């Protein structure tokens, strides 16, 4: 290692990504994944599309239940 480094031309945050752009991986159980892969294959959609559609419906149900209670 050098005794000193020159950071005078460095750019702060050059490799930093905002958190809102960060994709968080979601891991499914094997049986759940197999089920949705079969559903995706039948409808010619990707796994991500099918799982997102189901989760959106679940969000709607939860919101409806919260309003009614």
- Rounded CA separation 34/18 (Å): 33
pTM: 0.61
- Rounded CA separation 33/6 (Å): 51
Per the structure block, which two tokens stand in for 61?
A: 């149900």
Confirm if 40 and 28 have CB atoms less than 8 A apart: no
pLDDT of residue 43: 66
Residue 49 lies in a domain: yes
Residue 8 lies in a domain: no
Q: How far is CA 11 from the centre of its chain?
A: 29
Residues above pLDDT 90, as percent of the chain: 51
Q: Could you give the number of structural domains in the chain?
A: 1
- Residue-range definition of the domain harbouring residue 51: 21-68
pLDDT of residue 54: 95
Residue 52 lies in a domain: yes
Task: Give pLDDT tens digits for 28-58.
Answer: 999 999 999 998 886 667 899 999 999 999 9
pLDDT of residue 41: 85
Residue 12 lies in a domain: no
């Amino acid at each position: 290692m050098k005794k000193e480094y020159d950071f005078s031309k460095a750019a702060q945050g050059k490799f930093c990504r905002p958190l809102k752009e960060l994709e968080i991986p979601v891991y499914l159980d094997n049986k759940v994944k197999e089920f949705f892969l079969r559903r995706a294959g039948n409808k010619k959609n990707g796994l991500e599309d099918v799982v997102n559609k189901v989760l959106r419906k679940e969000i709607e149900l939860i919101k409806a239940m919260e309003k009614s209670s």
